[in-house]
Structure 1
Amino acid sequence: MNNETGFARTLSHRHVAMIALGGTIGTGLFLGAGSSIHRAGPAILLVYIITGLFVFAMMRALGELLVSDDSKSVFIDFMTQYLGKRAGFVLGWTYWIGWVVIAMTELTAIGTYMHYWFPDWPVWPWELAFLIVLYFVNTIAVKIFGETEFWFAMIKIVAIVAMIITGLILAFGHVKTSMGVTQFSTLWSHGLVANHGQGLLSTFQMAFFAFLGVEFVGITAAETKDPLETIPRSVNSIVIRILIFYIGALSAIMIIQPWTNYQAGESPFVQVFSGIGIQSAAAVINFVVLTAAASAINSAFFTTGRMLYSLVGEKSRFKKLNKNAIPQSAINLSTLIVGLAVVVNYLFPTKAFTLISSMASAAFLLIYMALMVTHLRFRKVTKGQKSHSFQLPLAPFSNYLTIAFLALIFVILLVTPATTVTTLLAALWMVILTVIAFFKLKKN
């Protein structure tokens, strides 16, 4: 069944929930959690809970917008409606280029992960192979995309559940490993905060970026079955599930091995599984992060195709759907741009991608803040018109608090030496787009 946008509604609640869940569980947990633990200690659990509450507020605001008008093809359309065409132009193209860059960096990562098993092979053929396969996944049928994302997410979830169960079994049985006797008190017996809290504030940015991509529900809405039922269910469950998986996994990690033993540059999953005698731990985690990278590219193709379709004019060649109600022309262009990563990796070193991807991440913060402002405008325009019961609790106070929290993360990025340049570049990018929009579009 096709909706007003022409897209087919073939994604089920199972697909949507796992798509958003899988999109936020990736290298940040499997590879980067060691750095979070090193900086904050067990206090990282509280950081995730606080961050999760604000992300939940953002998702409830997004959910309220989505169920208010299911004719919108992407959530950026709400920003255009309530903040103006110029704002929609800036935010839409920022979101599109952000996902394109993320796909390029993840494609580069795939080459690195495959190099683990095939050290003597060049990385670019692997990148090209994944690019082609994921392109066809996105252009054959939306349901195939949904199923692919479902199983990508399932692989990551199985790894996390295995970690949690392992921690519980070892702790209840007081099992002795090479790291000592496993017990629950290991979590707090070495202190609750690392370095007397000196690095605690910086971990909020790390926790926030762990949730990056959760807004992907706002891209799938136009192709979701029964959106008035599916979107609220997905929004309500996603953040809770993410918190359970992150907090559960991090707790298990710090129960099995004292948090003081983890190194910032190493995967805590590999350290734990290797410590209890699983020698293939590094290979297993390499496979998991490989699927995480493939999942990110898969989501990027889906997102950039729909975004480009939404951003261009009605007469554009990219404003066309194929026989399966998929914006194939828009996906073709996005794929070609992402494919430049293969060429760059063949010809030049790829260190520049790290800088660019960090800039994209900072831009997402600005988009999330704009989303909360959009919800404020929506509430003001539709005051007293409650067409549904799925609403952001405690609005507008929750809006202002969430905006303040996101602004704090942005300031942390700005004053942190490692991210100052990329944050300024993100702001500069949006200023340039704003100037273009000012001359290109009329104020509405």
Structure 2
Amino acid sequence: MSSEVAAEPAAEGLAAGLRQRHLAMLAMGGVIGSGLFVSSSVGIRLAGPGIVLSFLLAGALAMLVMRMMAEMAAAIPSSGSFSVHAERAFGAWAGFAIGWLYWSALVVVLAVEATAAAIIVNSWLPGVRQWVLVLVFMAVLTAINFAAVSRFGEFEFWLALVKVVAIIGFLVLGVLAFFGLLPGTSFAGTANLLGNGGLLPHGWQGVGAGLLAVVFTFGGLEVLTIAAAESDDPARAVGKAVRAAVVRISVFYVGSMLVVVALLPWTSIQAGESPFAAVLAHIGIPATEQIMNVIVLFALLSTLNTNMYGAARMVFSLAQRGHAPGALTKLDRNGVPYLAVAASVLFGFVAVALNALWPDTVFLYLLNAVGSVLLIVWILVACTQLRVRRQLERTAPDSLTVRMWGFPYLTWATLAAMVAILVVMAAGSGTRIQLVSSGVLVLVLVAAGAWWQRARRREPSAEGRP
């Protein structure tokens, strides 16, 4: 037997090395990043205290979409996850398009995360060039992704745990400060929640604007259904992990925002600055800026690590289905798709170079092109689930160990909500360019997928080839 065949095979020959705790932290690692710790300030400025409702709505939307993904992943475990399911529902063109769309988004975001992490460390080590730090981060995390998946899962578990502990600590300190139980604090009451325009200073329109600003912070949960294929029992693990991850993340997000707007006037929060740092400074924690820099650095590295993993597994699955070069299906003796990892990281380095050379032109266009990908992927997931669920009910009802709630009504309602968000984005001058750029990328990939499907149909069968 070839040394490239993995021991203890899981789905598609990948090694079954991920445990339940690894899956839970992979979801945390993929989601909790600078979007929460820093970019949430934009949502607060748009919605005021209503940002809590914005996060509740975004969390509910993410929970429903993840439930759809969990249903399909439990029934049909695959490293290609929603790409495989879309192919089953609509044909090869759909699997091709959504798989490459998601992969493109991940490798472009790698550049953003690696560059942001390098900027933080460069502020501590100004003598080290920024590109050297990017190279170090990419190299170290690439080595982690080349390791056996059990080691990767363990590394990501501890990396993501830093973020989880930081958020729990923030919530504990915030609650104590709210009730005046910390030195120098007094009972905060409802002054900040009801003052400065009340709970909804910009009305429900502000809540909607806040939702638009924060819904993308839930991106990254999808990697959980990808990683489930490398667990011992995908059908059981994915349902349990999705429930735990979505609930915990929603509590962390909503709880954190509630602490911020209860302790500080929302008008004092500056867009682009960390509301977490503002709260810590308010309650008298010293060196708040450096504390937040350390936490954000860990958050960025964890997300970078998880996105490398997700990109490699997605392109591995695409290759297995004939949508990418067949060499990318090769596994090492640990069951790791090493060429798929290398290919994804290579394009990550290309994206980093584009970010360094043309940050305001070429890279900005790429960033806009993948800006709305999360929402488009979620919409395609909902469309896929509507069809796959019916197929499974007819052909394999016993495989539906995890079921979408209120099917098909909640699926249709979720789909309508996401389309409404796209309509709002199209109407806004600040988000329209992002949506148009993403739309062009989707159309190109759908056209390429349709062409690829027709080309494969014209090929002679494998049996007829010499």
Give TM class, smaller chain: over 0.9
Per the alignment, do residues 68 and 341 of structure 1 end up closer, same or farther by CA in structure 2, a change over 3 Å counting? closer
Deviations 1:116-155 (A, max 9, x none): 2123432000000001100000001111211222122211
Deviates more, 1:67-76 or 1:4-13: 67-76
TM-score (norm 2): 0.89
**Aligned residue number for residue 193 of structure 2:** 188
Identical amino acids, percent of aligned pairs: 31
**TM-score, scaled relative to structure 1:** 0.94
Deviations 1:140-179 (A, max 9, x none): 11112112221222111122111111111122236575xx
2:56 to 49, 60, 64: 49
346-355 or 397-406, which deviates more:
346-355
Amino acid at match of 1:293: L
Cross-structure match for 1:334: 344
**Corresponding residue number in structure 1 for 2:174:** 167
Distance 1:254 1:315, change over 3 A: closer
2:101 pairs, out of 94, 97, 101, with 94
Q: Secondary structure at the match of 1:418?
A: helix
Q: Which amino acid aligns with 2:341?
A: I
SS in structure 1 of the partner of residue 13 of structure 2: coil
Q: Deviation string for 1:352-377 (max 9, x for gaps)?
A: 53442343131221111111111111
Moved more, 53-62 or 376-385: 376-385
Amino acid corresponding to residue 67 of structure 1 in structure 2 = A
Contact 2:43–2:209 (8 Å) recurs in 1: no
The aligned counterpart of 2:314 is 307
- CA 1:260/1:345 → structure 2, altered by over 3 Å: closer, same or farther? closer
Deviates more, 1:168-177 or 1:185-194: 168-177
Q: Please give the alpha-carbon distance, in whole angstroms, between the structure 1 residues aligned to 2:25 and 2:364.
A: 27
Q: Report deviation, 1:316.
A: 1.8
Q: Aligned with 1:119: secondary structure? A: coil
Indicate the SS of the match to 1:125.
Answer: helix
- What are the residue-to-residue correspondences of 1:39-78 with 2, within 5 Å? 39-70=46-77, 73-78=80-85
- Write the distance in 1 (CA, Å) between the matches of 2:442 and 2:80: 23
Aligned match of 1:386 in 375, 394, 397? 397
Structure 2 CA distance for partners of 1:300 and 1:368, relative to 1, 3 Å: same
- CA 1:286 to 1:263, structure 2 compared with 1: closer, same or farther past 3 Å? same
Aligned-residue CA RMSD in angstroms?
2.1
Q: Deviations over 1:214-236 (max 9, x none)?
A: 11112102101222221111111
8 Å Cα contact 2:281-2:288 kept in structure 1 = yes
Residues 239-250 of structure 1: pairs in structure 2 closer than 5 A? 239-250=246-257
2:206 aligned counterpart, secondary structure: coil
CA separation of 1:433 and 1:181: change in aligned 2, threshold 3 A: same
The offset of 1:189, in angstroms, is 2.8
Deviations 1:94-125 (A, max 9, x none): 11111111111111212211222123432000
Q: Distance in 2 between matches of 1:226 and 1:127?
A: 36
Describe the SS at the equivalent of 2:406: coil
Instruction: Please give the alpha-carbon distance, in whole angstroms, between the structure 1 residues aligned to 2:70 and 2:160.
Output: 22
Quick one: distance in 1 between partners of 2:383 and 2:45? Answer: 35
> What does 1:2-13 correspond to in 2, within 5 Å?
2-13=9-20
**1:147 alignment partner in structure 2:** 154
Aligned-partner Cα distance in 2 for 1:224–1:53 = 26
Q: Distance in 2 between matches of 1:203 and 1:434?
A: 31
CA distance in 1, matches of 2:421, 2:364: 19
Conserved? CA contact 2:235–2:401, under 8 Å? no
User: Contact conserved, 2:177 with 2:283, CA < 8 A, in 1?
Assistant: no
The 3-state SS of whatever aligns with 1:70 is coil
Structure 1 unaligned blocks of 5 or more: none
Q: 1:205 aligns with which of 201, 204, 212?
A: 212
1:23–1:295 CA contact under 8 A, matched in 2: yes
